[in-house]
Chain A
Amino acid sequence: DVKVTQSSRYLVKRTGEKVFLECVQDMDHENMFWYRQDPGLGLRLIYFSYDVKMKEKGDIPEGYSVSREKKERFSLILESASTNQTSMYLCASRPPGNTDTQYFGPGTRLTVL
């Protein structure tokens, strides 16, 4: 069974803080993704990575950065958290191949006060 874990289920931070969200997968997948999910807006892609040290911007990268130093770990960084970054953050991984699904982590509910 594929397992994707995220460092926290719930997180409360203050405006201006630097925030790290970590994601680890145990299936040696090349592709990893970070999404945020907000009511009425669905899942929006922030960044994705198709290999170690490789990253691509998604639809809403502003205010975020990522790091992928090891294949199994993909980190999302909020450089200076703002209240409009309060959201559910979902990490996913995917093997190569067009018919393969993404496997999601449990999500991190981030609140920025």
Chain B
Amino acid sequence: QKEVEQNSGPLSVPEGAIASLNCTYSDRGSQSFFWYRQYSGKSPELIMFIYSNGDKEDGRFTAQLNKASQYVSLLIRDSQPSDSATYLCAVTAGNQFYFGTGTSLTVIP
């Protein structure tokens, strides 16, 4: 069984702060890593993907991957109330995606 673990939260940060979301995975053969945002009652939408060790930045979002530690994280800079959502980590092995249970983030105005 391929495990993807996330702290379920809730994580609360003040507006303008950095939110840090973490994810660990069990399968060393995992190839690609994705972060999705899901608003209540909506379907997941892609924020970022990363497949090489190191950092990848896209606007206010930075994904970090450490394959040796089997760890992937998402940093959200200058957090906004509109960032309040559940964030899902997903890893792939072949055609299949394996999802964590998500971390609930609340950004307090």
Scan A24-37; emit 1 where CB is below 8 A from any B CB, else 0: 00000001010000
Question: When the two chains form their complex, are residues B51 and A98 in contact, meaning their CB atoms are under 8 A apart?
Answer: yes
In this assembly, does B46 line the interface, its C-beta being within 8 Å of a C-beta of chain A?
A: yes
Contact between B42 and A42 (Cβ–Cβ < 8 Å)? no
The answer to whether B92 has its CB under 8 Å from any CB of chain A is yes
CA distance A99 to B51 in the complex (A): 7
Interface size on A, residues (CB 8 A): 21
Main secondary structure of the interface of B (DSSP, over half): loop
Q: Given A31-B95, A48-B95, A98-B51, A106 and B42 touching (CB < 8 A)?
A: yes
**Chain A positions 70 through 113: 1 when the CB is less than 8 Å from some CB of chain B, otherwise 0:** 00000000000000000000100010001101101111010000
* Closest chain B residue to A58, Cβ basis: B96
> What residue of chain A has the Cβ atom nearest to residue B6's Cβ?
A42
Query: Is B74 an interface residue, CB under 8 A from the partner?
Result: no
Residues of A within 8 A of B32 (CB): 98-99
The chain B residue with its CB closest to the CB of A104 is B43
CA A74 to CA B69, docked complex, whole Å: 37
Q: Would A101 and B43 count as touching, CB distance under 8 A?
A: no
Bound-complex Cα distance A104 to B36 (A): 11
Complex A-B: 28 CB contacts under 8 Å: A31-B95, A40-B8, A40-B101, A42-B88, A42-B99, A42-B101, A43-B88, A43-B99, A45-B96, A45-B97, A48-B95, A48-B96, A90-B43, A90-B44, A94-B95, A98-B31, A98-B32, A98-B51, A99-B32, A99-B51, A101-B34, A101-B46, A102-B90, A104-B43, A105-B43, A106-B43, A107-B42, A107-B43
B: which residues have CB within 8 A of A?
8, 31-32, 34, 41-46, 49, 51, 88, 90, 92, 95-97, 99-102
A-B CB proximity, top 8 nearest: A42-B101, A104-B43, A43-B99, A98-B31, A101-B46, A107-B43, A99-B32, A98-B32
